[in-house]
Every structure is written in structure tokens, then in C-alpha cells.
Chains A and B, each alone.
Chain A
Amino acid sequence: MYFGSAEKPDREHLRRLKELVKRTNTPWLSDHLCWGSVDGRYTHDLLPMPYTFEAARLTAQKIREVRDFLEIPIAVENVSSYAEYHVSEMTEWEFLNEVVERADCGILLDVNNIYVSSRNHNFDPLTYIDSVPADRVAQIHIAGHSKFQKYILDTHDHPVIDPVWKLYDRAIQRAGHTATLLEWDDSIPSFQEVHREALKANRFLESKSLAVAV
């Protein structure tokens, strides 16, 4: 839906999406906090937002409009990014908070994306995690990525690395026992390997449950 695109939502697309939502009894819906289309042309990419108050206002307005039309809650997912804009007036996590507070929507927290962006833009990923309103986190995503000489690319084709697991640990420490999705879209290994990776997430989640029980 490209919540961050400056243009208005496509009503025909929303109408069809609403039909699907009704047919599937979708309880809530998420999309990325990004843009990717302009003047009716689509890049099919998750392009980074300029972190401005104008962009936050317009994005939140669009999220509200979509939510009101679809009549289900919306959550926005943070993306990996490789570029920043001169016009930005705040950090990415401040922008995320600004949008979700204005829109009163949930967050799909992708901790791998936070890690990737933190390396590409030189910020502390824990500061990001600690700044997210924990009670709005609807789901967490984890994934692997590809490291190049000068930047990191979000490719979903490797195991989750330890620093990302640490961020995940911190995220569920704050957000509690949260539904988690392991993303692996390319160079997919055996089922056993993917399953082992998914079970690692379970271990973190179980340890938090036990901690609560104790």
C-alpha cells in the first residue's frame, strides 16, 4: 500500500483488499513504513522515508484512512535502508514513533532491518529497540542478510547472526511473548536447518515465559 507515498491510496485496490480481508477474516494487516510509487508509477521497492514531520503527518493520515476503510487494525513495519535524506528532521525511530502515535497503529518490528540500517547509517540499534513503544509491537521479524564491503543488504538468504539474536532478545524482553516470523526467501536450505533456526527463536521466547513464571 506504500503508506509513505505522497499520493492518495488507490481506492480500487483498497476495495479489493477489503474483500480479501473479509473472505479470510484477517484480524489485522501490516505493511512497510516506506514509499515506492509516485505519479502512478511503481518501483516495487521499499524506498526509505524522509524523516520529516510533513511525511509523518501524511503517512499517519494515510494509515488512518486505510484502517477506516478496511475496518481492521493496521501495523507498520520498519524497513532496511541504504540511504538517508538531507531533509530529515529526526531519527528513524523518532519518525516511527511519530507515525504510530499519530495513526494510533501497531508496529511490526523487524529487528534484522534495525540491525542492517544501524550498520548502514552508524547508529546504535539498541537505542532504536529501546525507543519503540513496546505495547504497540504486534509481531517481530528476524532474518539473515548479506554483508558487502561498504554496506549491508537485507537479503533474507542467510541464518540470523548473533547480534540480531541479541536485538531480538532485547525486543521480546520489552514487548513480552510476541509472535515471531523467521524470514528466509532465497537460498533456502533444508527444512531441518530452517526449523533449527526457528527453534532458536522459541528458546528465547520460552526463556522469557519462564522468567515471568518464576
Chain B
Amino acid sequence: MKLHALQRAVARAVMQPLTRSERMQRKAPGGGRMSAYAARFIKPNDRLTSFERLEIYNRQYWFRVLASLAEDYPGLRAVLGGRRFEAMCKAYLTECPSRSFTLRNLGAQLAAWLRQNARWISDRRVLALDMVRLEWADIEAFDGEAKPALRSEDLREAKPASLQLDIQPYVQLLDLHYPVDDLLLEVKHGDDTPDRASNAVQERRKTQQGPCRGEARGRRNLSGRSSSGFSPSIFAASSRKSSPFSPRCEAERPSSAPSTWLSAKVPSLRPTARLCSTFVSNLGGSRLVLPARGKQAR
């Protein structure tokens, strides 16, 4: 069997939904017995049949993707209830398997899919759709592109009358019917899971004045806005002095001498250079380039 054909056959079995008791189905993709299907390409050993060996991967797949959605959508889970949420996730993932290298994007189609498959949210349609949109926007804000945050000192020499500021690209404005952000905070309240944050978010948090939201004409702002006063973090430019990547790179750099192979390939393992970036802000037709992040020569 050629590589592509083998991988296709294995993936079909691995991604086939589990039974209600979380075991591999007895029926193979496309019909026939799964035991015969597995035996076509998986070797048995003295402890496990071909079916059982393949089942390890089948279960791992579903446990992983379901856990990922449960982690990303605790609010939707609270709205639907655990059992219906899990059944909905299985149906969603069966129709919309991951098409991204990262689990981060697993729920990218969920809001659209729920609109087309409203039976899963029939009695709480509006609330559920509000929540799933908020939670997806939260994921996008978590590690979306962030331009260097604007510093108040960057404005000193700028002319206020002609000043134009850009909102950070990770900020989204959602038109929602329910205060689902409050609900989500309630759901997450008491969750003692260690905080997980991308580098970008950690950097943003240093400069943010705190989580808050604004409201205007029934609209609720998602993230990054101060309820009062100037919140520079959602505007572009930077107050950062060093790269968020530098410490991590240094920490992961081999602590001992590089191997022969590595020495040959990378003659000198130099300390990581800091990021060097600039932010271009449009100021009344003239372009002002603001140095950011402790610009250094490479």
C-alpha cells in the first residue's frame, strides 16, 4: 500500500466517531467490519489485536479534540449543558474536522455551523450564538496580531488636531443581545487553572489598565478598552523595552555544548538578538515612524 493511501485509510479510522461508551466502532468507514479493516494495515502483537492498536489512536484523537473544544468554549458548554455540548462537538467535528495545524483554530467554523445546525441550540439559539461568537473572539484576541502599544510620550510632539490612531487588530466589536461577557466571567470564576497566555497577551497585560468593556447603543465591546480615560494598550506603538521572545529563546538554548552535528550546522550559537521593529502611524497625512521595543542594531 502506498504512503498516501495508507495514511488516508488510517486517518479515516482514527477520525471516525467513538461509540457511546467511548470505544472504537465495530463498523469500518465505508462499511464492513472494523476488525478486518484494521487488520489490513496494522500488525497485531502478543497483547493487542490490530483493532485494539488502532483504537488507541482513535480514542486519543477524540479525547484530544473534545478536550480542546471544552477548554475553548466553557461558556457555550454552560449554556448548553455538558451532555448536549459534547454531543454537539462530536457532530461538529465529524462534519468540520480540523483543517489547521493548530488546535487553536478548531472552533473557527463553530458559530457558522451552529447557525446551520440550530437543532443543537434550538431553545437558546440567540444566547448560544452570542456566547460562541464571544468565545471565538476571545481566542482571536488571545494571540491575534498586536502592534506595539502607543505610549503617552509618543504623543508629546504630535499634533492632536491631526492625530489618527488605529485600534489594535486583535480588538473586535461584537453586536450581542445578552451580557455574555458577564456570564463567561461567572463561568470561569473559581477556575483555578493556571493562567495561560501567549507572549503577545502577556506583553499586552503589562500595559493594560485592566479588563473592561464599553457599551454603546446596545453594543458590547469585547476587549482591551478602559471604561474610563485613556487606555493606550489598544492603540499602536510600544512601551516595551525588550522582546518577549528573548528570554524564551535564551531559556531554550542548549545549556551544554552543542553536538557534533549541531556544531557543524550552526558554527556559533550567539545570544538571541532583540527584536527590532518600527510602527508607522498615519499622522494627518504625514507618516511618522516611531521607534519601538528598544530598537537595537542586529
Instruction: List chain A positions with a Cβ less than 8 A from chain B.
Output: 1, 5-7, 10, 13, 23-28, 35, 37-45, 47, 50, 52, 54-55, 58, 73, 75, 82-87, 106-107, 120-122, 134-139, 150-151, 153, 175-180, 205
Contacts and interface: CB of A to CB of B under 8 A. Distances in A.
A86 B42 CA distance: 6
A6 B99 CA distance: 16
B249 A25 contact: yes
Contact of B3 (A6, A25, A82): A6
B262 A138 contact: yes
Contact of B249 (A26, A120, A139, A153): A26
A141 B273 CA distance: 26
Interface string B273-287: 101000000000000
B266 interface: yes
B97 interface: yes
Contacts of B261: 75, 106-107, 135-138
Nearest to A52: B3
Interface residues of B, number: 54
B170 interface: no
B65 A44 contact: yes
The majority secondary structure among interface residues of chain A is: mixed
Nearest to A172: B256
A24 B41 contact: no
B61 A177 contact: no
Given A43-B11, A43-B15, A44-B65, A135 B101 contact: no
B46 to A, nearest CB: 7
Interface string B253-274: 1111111111001100110110
A38 B259 contact: no
Interface of B: 1-4, 6-8, 10-11, 14-15, 40-43, 45-48, 52-54, 56-57, 60-61, 64-65, 68, 97-101, 103, 245, 249, 253-262, 265-266, 269-270, 272-273, 275
A82 B56 contact: yes
Given A40-B99, A44-B103, A150-B48, 14 more contacts: A6-B3, A28-B265, A41-B99, A47-B7, A47-B11, A55-B3, A84-B43, A84-B45, A86-B42, A120-B45, A136-B260, A136-B261, A138-B259, A179-B255
A38 B11 contact: yes
A54 B3 contact: yes
B224 to A, nearest CB: 23
B52 A150 contact: yes
Given A23-B245, A151-B47, A28 B262 contact: yes
Contacts of B255: 179
Contact of B43 (A27, A38, A83, A205): A83
Contact of B53 (A83, A122, A138, A177): A83
Contact of A42 (B48, B57, B98): B98
A26 B257 CA distance: 17
Contacts of B100: 42
Given A85-B41, A136-B261, A175-B259, A50 B3 contact: yes
A58 B52 contact: no
18 contacts: A23-B275, A27-B266, A28-B262, A37-B11, A41-B11, A43-B11, A43-B15, A43-B98, A44-B64, A45-B60, A47-B57, A58-B3, A106-B261, A106-B262, A122-B46, A138-B262, A179-B254, A180-B256
Nearest to A26: B249
B52 A45 contact: no
A24 B272 contact: yes
B260 A135 contact: yes
Contact of B257 (A73, A135, A177): A177
A205 B61 contact: no
B256 A50 contact: no
Contacts of B7: 5-6, 35, 38, 47
